[in-house]
Amino acid sequence: MSLYPHARIILATMTVTQFMVQSEATRQAEVKEAVTALLSPPQEDERLFIHCLSNGGAKRVYSIAGVYQKATGSPLPVKAMVIDSAPGIPQFRRDLHALSVPARKLNWLLWAPYMTVVVAVASAIYVSVHWMPKWWWRELVWGPHEGVNDHALINPKCLKGFVYSKEDIIIDWRDVEGHAKLAEEKGYRVEKKLIEGAEHVKMFKGAGGEEDYWGFVKMIWDKAMD
C-alpha cells in the first residue's frame, strides 16, 4: 500500500457462500491465523488500522475481533477503521443484485436455475430479517451489525470513517448513516464521507476520484493518531 509502505498487511476475504452459509464458529476458526499474526512480535510500536469493504468485510472484522477477545480478554486494539460501502440491512432488491453477481458470466442454462435459487434465498432472508426475532438471523445479520459497535470487541477509542454513496445499489446509504449515528451514540468518534456517483465498493471512482478517496483514508488515520 503506497500510503503506508512499511505496514504489515493482513488480507481477509469472503466469498458469497462463506457469507451466506458459514456459522460464526466456522468463520472464527478461519480467522485464527489473522489473530496469530496480530499477536506476533513486534506489537508494542505497532498500531492497527482496518479498511473493510462491504458487509463481508465488516463480518470478517467481527469474527477477528471475537477471536482476539477470546484470546486476550480485550477488545481489538484498532486505532482507526474505514468502513467502505457498509454496513447494510437486507433489502430484497439490493440482495437480489448482490447475489446475482456471480451469475453474470454463466450461460442461460445455468443462469436460470441459479437465479431461481437467488430469488428464493433473497425472499427468505428479507422476510426472516424483517419479520422474525433478531436471534433468528443473528449470525448472518445482527451479530456482525451490532458487534462492530460493541466496546467489548472494538476499541472504544477507535475512530471510524464511513464512506458511502446514494448510487450504491447493494447497500442503502441510510443504513450506513444509521449505523454511524449509533456508533456516535456508543461513544465512538465518527467521520462520514458521502461520495456522488460511486458504485458499490468503487467509491474511489466517484466524484473526486482516487485522490479524494485516499485523502479521506489518510485523514482518518492522521486524526486517529492525534
Residue 210 located in a structural domain: yes
> Is residue 193 scored above 90 in pLDDT?
yes
- pLDDT at position 28 is 95
Residue 127 located in a structural domain: no
Cβ(156)–Cβ(187) below 8 Å: yes
Residue 51 located in a structural domain: yes
- Please give the single-letter amino acid code of residue 108: W
203 burial class (0-12, 13-18, 19+ CB within 10 angstroms)?
buried
Which tens digits make up the pLDDT trace of 49-84? 999 999 999 999 999 999 999 999 999 999 999 999
In residues, how long is the chain? 226
Which tens digits make up the pLDDT trace of 11-52? 999 987 888 778 899 999 999 999 999 998 776 778 999 999
| Total domains present in the chain | 1
> Is residue 99 scored above 80 in pLDDT?
no
Residue 117 located in a structural domain: no
- pLDDT at position 163 is 98
Residue 22 located in a structural domain: yes
Residue 205 located in a structural domain: yes
Q: How far apart are CA 75 and CA 77, in angstroms?
A: 6
Cβ(195)–Cβ(165) below 8 Å: yes
- pLDDT at position 129 is 65
> Is residue 137 scored above 80 in pLDDT?
no
What range defines the domain where residue 211 resides?
Answer: 16-89+138-225
Report the DSSP pairing between strands 159-164 and 78-84: parallel
Cβ(7)–Cβ(1) below 8 Å: yes
Residue 101 located in a structural domain: no
Return the C-alpha cell found at 49.
Answer: 488500522
Determine the straight-line distance between the first and last CA of the chain, rounded to whole angstroms. Answer: 22
- Which CATH number is 192's domain given? 3.40.50.1820
Residue 160 located in a structural domain: yes
- C-alpha dist (Å) from residue 85 to 33, 89, 163: 26, 12, 6
